[in-house]
Structure 1
Amino acid sequence: MNVTEARFPAMAAGYESYYLRACHPDGGLGVWIRYTVHGRPGGRPTGSLWCTLFEESGPTATKVTVADLAADDWLRIGGAHIGAGSATGSTGSSTGDAAWDLRFTGAEPLRHLPLRWLYRAPLPRTKPVSLHPVARFDGAVTVGGREIALSGWPGMVGHNWGSQHAERWIWLHGMGFAGTGESTWLDLTFGRVRVGGRTTPWIANGALSLGGERMALGGLGRARRPRVAETPEQLEFAVPGREVVVAGTASAPRERIVGWVYADPDGSEHHTANCSIADLTLRVARPDRAPVNLHAAGLAAYELGMRERDHGIPIQPFTDG
């Protein structure tokens, strides 16, 4: 499976995203950029560029949607491009221009799903891959006329696609843990899927890298089922793997969270709350070893996708799909 290859040219309907996040090494300042393709049944796909600058005073978000897109290297949307080692683009949004010119290098890909045939199967409907579960970024991002230089900023690069978003989902990414190097990181997705009129319990997939040792987390079956308690501002979780359990808390104050509308190919919508400068605390438990405690302040990403509308997070004034 070529994890970087664009899937949208072969989709009758669905969505696909390439995305990146990068944070100042000291935390508290970060950027989240998405290149997204959306196609409804019988319609022509459209491409969107999303850019959010996160800082302690609050997020600044901008987005533009165009019909000009191509599977060029990874993906080209209008004049914007993301491919091996680089990402460029601009939104030109009426709410405040954003532009970026970035270069990156990173770790080997992480396939979240535990079995490769699941990437070809109808379920799960979302197929996540981290092209670089941890990366380093150089270049510049400009938001509302303010230029921010990136020099060795830690981050990640991801890719997902599918026929429908999960009924409810969580994305959690951690890096820059105090006292560790860049070979220690966490990358997890959680989903509740609608099947036969019912919604499944939470299913988690991903990995923890501890000093370069990758440990798969979650997976299929009751024994790998996570414990999850989530609100837009806080996540408490425990995820088992093979001879390891990772438990933790991710949190962010409401004013640092951005809210977006995510459209589904069937015409429905989710609200998504994301903070890419969240705090993350982990406890790693393994048999016959002392527990490992990890903390990253202002360097984690926590995203919750949901159907409800009464969550209290302001939603950005952009349509989707």
Structure 2
Amino acid sequence: MIDLHAARFGRFAAGYESFYLRAGHPDGGLGVWIRYTVHRRAGAAPTGSLWFTLFDAGAPAPVAAKLTMPDPETGAGDWLRVAGGRIGPGAATGQIAVPDGPQVDWELRFDGAAPLAHLPRGWLYRTPVPRTKPVSLHPVARFDGTVTVAGRRIELAGWPGMVGHNWGSQHAERWIWLHGMGFAGAGADTWLDVVFARVILGKGLTPWLAGGALSLAGQRFRLGGVTRHRAVAVTETPDSLRFALPGRGVTVSGTVTAPRERFVGWVYTDPSGSEHHVVNSSIADLEVSVARRGAAPETLRATGLAAYELGMRERDHGMVIQQFSDG
């Protein structure tokens, strides 16, 4: 049995690793996205970074900060320790204070649902391909604690969210992460968590592949998988997504959108030195249609509580990218 929580960067000759979380106000429109990452180029020592974003629908743009330091660590009960910040079972802390940037700090507690492995078979987490290994340690979670951003103190009391983990030797050529929670009229045990990717295989680029799950009142339905890739439909732009995705006994389709000013943009660097631009809104609007065998169709809506992330090679997307280097 593979340990989905354990840090891998100590075994890398070159690679990257990330533990991350998102949490949103139950009414939507206000949320945080925090990452603890390790980056290692071939022949170099690993570096660690703390990444922070506050999304507020009432603000002109997200507030973003990043701090990179040497010597990331693991052990002593933590999954990862970076630049004085820690994430581990049930807790996440950190502080970023850099010249000409907002000072932010957080102290959070969480608990949540059992892990979701996005890859369909456990052995795929032990093989070189796919080069990225995505896991949701808690595909839905509850957060309590505080976040302070440039003197603004925000109390989190039962905010819904999630906790994730990924690692690998190379980012996918193009990817999408979609996470939905806080659906109107549904409980906390109804959520959507899916990763889409196009990867270079041989000399070509694969069609969209997908993996994840839909939970309806606690019943999980696996989505995607290699054998279902022909039925995956994706139309993506930097600020919107339309998708259709088959699963085991279920088909989901839907849309996610957010105004461009509700996105943060970052540079992600591969260990090889190539770069992606990555845009993320963690206060997006999501509508999902669910068709199940033997059941009436359902529509799920989450307003200001969905996450949509797109990783891309193009530079002419018109989105604002933070001026932080990576790696």
* Normalised-by-shorter TM-score class: over 0.9
| CA deviations over 1:155-187 (Å, ceiling 9, x no partner) | 000000000000000000000000000000000
SS at 2:156 equivalent: strand
Partner of 1:82: 87
Partner of 1:60: 63
1:37 is the counterpart of 2:42: no
SS at 1:117 equivalent: helix
Cα deviation for residue 222 of structure 1 reads: 4.5
Cα deviation for residue 145 of structure 1 reads: 1.3
Q: Distance in 2 between matches of 1:219 and 1:18?
A: 23
Cα deviation for residue 100 of structure 1 reads: 0.4
Q: Distance in 2 between matches of 1:68 and 1:190?
A: 32
Q: Distance in 1 between matches of 2:34 and 2:170?
A: 21
Q: Distance in 1 between matches of 2:174 and 2:97?
A: 31
Partner of 1:227: 233
Q: Distance in 2 between matches of 1:236 and 1:177?
A: 18
Cα deviation for residue 93 of structure 1 reads: 2.6
| CA deviations over 1:9-48 (Å, ceiling 9, x no partner) | 0011000000000000000000000000000001000000
**Mapping for residues 148-159 of structure 1, pairs under 5 Å:** 148-159=154-165
Q: Distance in 2 between matches of 1:224 and 1:215?
A: 19
Partner of 1:15: 16
Answer whether contact 1:224 1:240 (CA < 8 A) is retained.
Answer: no
1:125 is the counterpart of 2:131: yes
1:284 is the counterpart of 2:290: yes
Provide the alpha-carbon RMSD of the alignment. 0.9
Unaligned stretches of 5+ in structure 1? none
Q: Distance in 1 between matches of 2:229 and 2:108?
A: 41
- From the superposition, tell whether residues 303 and 34 of structure 1 become closer, same or farther in structure 2 (CA, over 3 Å): same
Cα deviation for residue 287 of structure 1 reads: 2.1
Cα deviation for residue 190 of structure 1 reads: 0.3
The ranges of structure 1 where at least 4 consecutive aligned residues each deviate by more than 3 angstroms after the TM superposition are 222-225
Does 6-15 or 85-94 show the bigger shift? Answer: 85-94
| CA deviations over 1:253-285 (Å, ceiling 9, x no partner) | 001111000000000000001000000000000
Partner of 1:301: 307
Partner of 2:47: 46
Cα deviation for residue 288 of structure 1 reads: 2.5
Cα deviation for residue 294 of structure 1 reads: 0.3
Cα deviation for residue 223 of structure 1 reads: 5.4
Percent pairwise identity: 66
Answer whether contact 1:203 1:225 (CA < 8 A) is retained.
Answer: no
Q: Distance in 1 between matches of 2:239 and 2:229?
A: 28
Could you state the TM-score of these two structures normalised by the residue count of structure 2?
0.97
Answer whether contact 1:273 1:304 (CA < 8 A) is retained.
Answer: yes
**Mapping for residues 99-118 of structure 1, pairs under 5 Å:** 99-118=105-124
Partner of 1:179: 185
Cα deviation for residue 68 of structure 1 reads: 2.6
| CA deviations over 1:49-73 (Å, ceiling 9, x no partner) | 0000001122000000000311132
- From the superposition, tell whether residues 119 and 225 of structure 1 become closer, same or farther in structure 2 (CA, over 3 Å): farther
Q: Distance in 1 between matches of 2:203 and 2:24?
A: 40
1:271 is the counterpart of 2:277: yes
Answer whether contact 1:224 1:241 (CA < 8 A) is retained.
Answer: no
Partner of 2:26: 25
Does 210-219 or 287-296 show the bigger shift? Answer: 287-296
Partner of 2:74: 71
Q: Distance in 1 between matches of 2:139 and 2:37?
A: 19
**Mapping for residues 160-239 of structure 1, pairs under 5 Å:** 160-222=166-228, 225-239=231-245
- From the superposition, tell whether residues 75 and 271 of structure 1 become closer, same or farther in structure 2 (CA, over 3 Å): same
Answer whether contact 1:238 1:248 (CA < 8 A) is retained.
Answer: yes
Q: Distance in 2 between matches of 1:199 and 1:284?
A: 29
1:314 is the counterpart of 2:317: no
- What number of residue pairs does the alignment pair up? 321
SS at 1:266 equivalent: coil
Q: Distance in 1 between matches of 2:319 and 2:151?
A: 26
Cα deviation for residue 224 of structure 1 reads: 5.8
Which letter does structure 2 place at the counterpart of 1:39? R
